[in-house]
Structure 1
Amino acid sequence: MPRLRHAVRDLLARQPTHVPDETLQGVLLILSELVTNAVRHAALLSPTIGVEVALGGGRLRVAVEDGHPYRPKALAAEPTGDHTGGRGLLLVKALTAEAGGVCDVEQTGAGGKVIWAALPLAAA
């Protein structure tokens, strides 16, 4: 995971659009959680994942795609008291909301999913 964070940090440092440090740190944590979630929960049906980082429209968007059809519910609702999973996605949801961004899950045409988060580059 450290290699991914360093690669994304280096990629964004080379872009003409400035990414505030607070936004960068939040995105790196979100990306780590999304990749960890994909590896932990989707690896059996999806041995490969895709990672996307995009700058545009005043936002920084990160997305992780896997081939597993399960759509996690942690981004849609708060867990019940006996809920023991999804804490990483709840962290993603909280970090994204705190930054004034949005996150969601979308199905892919191949039957998998993309979980993404987009944070504004300017303070919310």
Structure 2
Amino acid sequence: MQLEIRPDPAEVGRARRWALSRLAGFGIAADEPLAENLVLLVSELVTNAVVHTGRPAVLRLSLPGGPADAPERAAPSATVRVEVADTSSRAPVPRCARGDATGGRGLALVDCLADRWGWSPEGAGKSIWCELDRCSQPREGAALAYGGALSAYEGLAFEAV
């Protein structure tokens, strides 16, 4: 499943709503931790594409099994993949944001929340992806994502805005 994204900040909200509607079709409730994390990951990756490239992008969502009317196909331990492809060949660069900065934390959040993430060249641009395992336990330290004490991000301040 994919959604075309225009280079407009309003597209971030549309991408979140689209992802939630797709999850619902697969029997994943909006209040499940998987859905909450996935929506945040969609928001971060789409925001990065819109803000840092200023070009159209494509959001792809890969869900395991089939829709809710075939629950035997939607394995509870399966992986959900989010991917955003854009036409910029510039590699994503994690940044160290100062405590009072209003941006620069997106890839740190992706790293904290996703079970796996990465990027690869795609055509003339790139694709940034992340995966969530539906039944995985939160990684050690993931609960501290908004407080800072993760070893790889020591000294970064995360704040809800």
Q: Same fold (TM over 0.5)?
A: yes
| Letter aligned with residue 106 of structure 1 | S
Residue 2 of structure 1 corresponds to 13
Distance 1:22 1:80, change over 3 A: closer
Distance 1:22 1:118 in 2: 14
Sequence identity percentage: 30
How many angstroms does 1:79 deviate by?
4.2
| Letter aligned with residue 70 of structure 1 | R
Residue 147 of structure 2 corresponds to none
Distance 1:9 1:123, change over 3 A: same
| Max Rg structure | 2
Distance 1:115 1:94 in 2: 15
Matched residue count = 110
Distance 1:39 1:80, change over 3 A: closer
User: Which of these residues, 43, 49, 67, is aligned with residue 32 of structure 1?
Assistant: 43
* Matched-pair contact (CA < 8 Å) for 2:119–2:128: yes
Superposed CA RMSD in Å reads 2.3
Distance 1:91 1:51 in 2: 18
How many angstroms does 1:9 deviate by?
0.7
- 1:50 corresponds to 2:58: yes
- State how 1:1-124 maps to structure 2 within 5 Å: 1-15=12-26, 18=28, 21-43=32-54, 47-56=55-64, 58-74=78-94, 79=96, 86-96=104-114, 101-108=115-122, 110-124=123-137
Output the TM-score relative to the length of structure 2. 0.61
Distance 2:49 2:42 in 1: 11
Q: Secondary structure at the match of 2:109?
A: helix
Q: Secondary structure at the match of 1:119?
A: strand
Distance 1:4 1:116 in 2: 15
Cα deviation, 1:39-59, whole Å, max 9, x if unaligned, reads: 11111xxx2100000012810
Distance 1:3 1:22 in 2: 20
Distance 1:40 1:80 in 2: 16
